[in-house]
């Protein structure tokens, strides 16, 4: 009887231990979906996790939300096959393409999803796009995952597009090429990836300046300015410190309530009225362009609060930590 009792207790203990390990792994530990999708970033409607995997730089989740695919990186939404993604891509690409003297050679840093590349391919004068992404798996998704390829219209496989797997700064520092338009569309630095600050620094902007053709421009993504206005103004102040002429612009998404900020930077003086669209796009009409180039009062009120980001400080990371607790 004692042997049977101890056998039963032993089996129960093993079961409880395995259950605890399972729940720890899948709810709190490394196997938890929360390590791939932050609680605050979960879709509000029914969703299905199609795939999760680790790459050399990040944790990726492919999530089906209705008819859309959302791509998560380290718990945060990176991009998706969504209408607001089309708006975002049109703004970050067509404003600098409209402002540049020429639009023949384009460099896109952070082009793994292929959506911004798709927009740049609208220009008949275009000769070459270099799309740089540090993550080979992310670039491969943009090239081969059918639902993303359908959304980006096969842009990363286009004959005018060359894809490069490398850190964006390292690629620019090694390159002897110059470009008409350079688009930097990368996430903000976080404690998980503080090194991203190197792609927003004064030193890197000097490198980009050396790689612009006469009349060339930069377009820099500045995150969600309704949450972090100082983030955008710090990027602009850094660009000005580098000697660029700058024009801030933004796009408020009626669907998500997010106001995305950007900075246009040029080596030559440039006014908003000088910017005229060269192609027709579904979202960014001439009327919408004027709205994009007019900064709302709540942002202009914070204009003088930016600081210069260098390789030696953590200006942008500090802003992100303070405003989002990331």
Q: 3-state SS of the chain? A: CHHHHHHHHHHHHHHHHHHHHHHHHHHHCCCCHHHCECHHHCCCCCCEEEEEEECCCCEEEEEEECCEEEEEECEEEEEECCHHHHHHHHHHHHHHHHHCCCCCEEEEECCCCCHHHHHHCCCCCCCEEEEEECCHHHHHHHHHCHHHHHHHCCHHHCCCEEEEECCHHHHHHHCCCCEEEEEECCCCCCCCCHHHHHHCCHHHHHHHHHCEEEEEEEEEEEEECCCCHHHHHHHHHHHHHCCCEEEEEEEECCCCCCEEEEEEEECCCCCHHHCCCCCCCCCCCHHHHHHHCCCCHHHHCCHHHCCCCCCCCCHHHHHHHHHHCC
pLDDT computed for residue 27 by the predictor: 43
- Any idea what DSSP says for residue 75? B
The answer on pLDDT for 31 being more than 50 is no
Q: How far apart are CA 219 and CA 240, in angstroms?
A: 14
For residue 273, the model assigns a pLDDT of: 92
Q: What is the pLDDT of residue 34?
A: 65
Higher pLDDT, 296 or 57: 296
**pLDDT band with cut points at 50, 70 and 90 for residue 40:** low
| The predicted structure's pLDDT at residue 58 | 77
User: Which of helix, strand or coil describes residue 89?
Assistant: helix
- Mean pLDDT estimate for the chain: 87
Q: Is the confidence at residue 23, as pLDDT, over 50?
A: no
- The predicted pLDDT at position 80 comes to 86
Q: How confident is the model over 106-127, as a mean pLDDT?
A: 94
Could you tell me which residue, 48 or 74, shows the higher pLDDT?
48
Tokens found for residue 249? 């612009």
Distance CA 239, CA 266 (A): 9
SS3 readout for 115-170: HHHHHHCCCCCCCEEEEEECCHHHHHHHHHCHHHHHHHCCHHHCCCEEEEECCHHH
Structure tokens at 127: 């000769």
Quick check: 139 and 165 in contact, CB under 8 A?
Answer: yes
202-220: average pLDDT: 97
For position 7, what pLDDT does the model report? 55
Mean pLDDT of 68-77: 78
> Which of 133, 167, 180, 185 does the annotation list as catalytic?
185
pLDDT of residue 17 exceeding 60: no
Of the candidates 251, 261, 254, 191, the residue with the CA atom closest to the CA atom of residue 223: 261
Tell me which of 242 and 141 has the higher pLDDT: 242
Q: What element of type H or E holds 297?
A: helix 297-300
Q: In angstroms, rounded to a whole number, what is the distance separating the alpha carbons of residues 73 and 262?
A: 21
Which of 73-82, 190-199, 247-256, 286-295 is predicted least confidently? 73-82
- CA 5-9-15 angle, to 5 degrees, is 145
Determine the average pLDDT of the residues in 111-118.
Answer: 90
Which two three-digit tokens encode residue 11? 């089996």
Residue 30 has pLDDT above 80, yes or no: no
Q: What is the mean pLDDT of residues 273-283?
A: 93
Model pLDDT, residue 66: 86
Grouping H, G, I as helix, E, B as strand and the rest as coil, residue 45 is: coil
pLDDT given for residue 71 in this prediction: 82
- Give the orientation angle of helix 315-324 with respect to helix 229-241, to 10 degrees: 170
**Above pLDDT 90, what percent of the chain?**
61
pTM: 0.86
Q: Is the pLDDT of residue 88 over 90?
A: yes
Percent of the chain at pLDDT > 70 equals: 87
Q: Is the pLDDT of residue 60 over 70?
A: yes
Query: Between 62 and 171, whose confidence is greater?
Result: 171
Mapping DSSP to helix (H, G, I), strand (E, B) and coil, where does residue 264 land?
Answer: strand
Annotation says 325 is catalytic: no
Is the pLDDT at 138 greater than 90? The verdict is no
Q: Measured between alpha carbons, how far is residue 297 from residues 135, 174, 179, 261, 300 in Å?
A: 38, 41, 34, 14, 5
């Amino acid at each position: 009887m004692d042997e049977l009792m101890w056998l039963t207790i032993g089996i129960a203990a093993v079961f409880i231990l395995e259950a605890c390990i399972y729940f720890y792994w899948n709810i709190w530990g490394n196997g938890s979906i929360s390590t791939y999708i932050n609680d605050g970033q979960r879709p509000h409607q029914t969703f299905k996790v199609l795939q999760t995997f680790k790459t050399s730089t990040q944790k990726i989740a492919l999530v089906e939300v209705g008819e859309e695919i959302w791509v998560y990186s380290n718990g945060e939404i990176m991009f998706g096959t969504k209408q607001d993604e089309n708006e975002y891509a049109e703004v970050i690409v067509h404003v600098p393409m409209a402002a540049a003297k020429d639009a023949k050679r384009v460099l896109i840093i952070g082009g793994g999803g292929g959506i911004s590349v798709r927009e740049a391919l609208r220009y008949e004068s275009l000769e070459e796009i270099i799309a740089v992404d540090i993550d080979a798996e992310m670039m491969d998704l943009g090239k081969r995952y059918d639902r993303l390829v359908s959304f980006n219209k096969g842009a990363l496989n286009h004959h005018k597009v060359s894809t490069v797997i490398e850190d964006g700064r390292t690629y620019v520092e090694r390159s002897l090429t110059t470009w008409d338009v350079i688009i930097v569309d990368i996430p903000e630095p976080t404690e998980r990836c503080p090194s991203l600050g190197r792609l927003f620094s004064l030193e890197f902007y000097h490198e980009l300046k050396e790689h612009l053709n006469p009349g060339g421009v930069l377009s820099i993504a500045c995150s969600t300015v309704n949450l972090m206005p100082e983030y955008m103004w710090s990027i602009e102040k850094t660009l000005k410190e580098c000697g660029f002429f700058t024009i801030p612009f933004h796009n408020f998404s009626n669907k998500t309530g997010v106001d995305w900020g950007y900075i246009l930077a040029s080596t030559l003086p440039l006014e908003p009225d000088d910017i005229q669209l060269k192609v027709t796009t579904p979202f960014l009409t001439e009327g919408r362009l004027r709205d994009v180039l007019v900064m709302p009062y709540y942002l202009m009120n914070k204009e003088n609060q930016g600081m210069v980001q260098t390789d030696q400080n953590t200006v942008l990371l500090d802003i992100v930590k303070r405003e989002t607790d990331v």
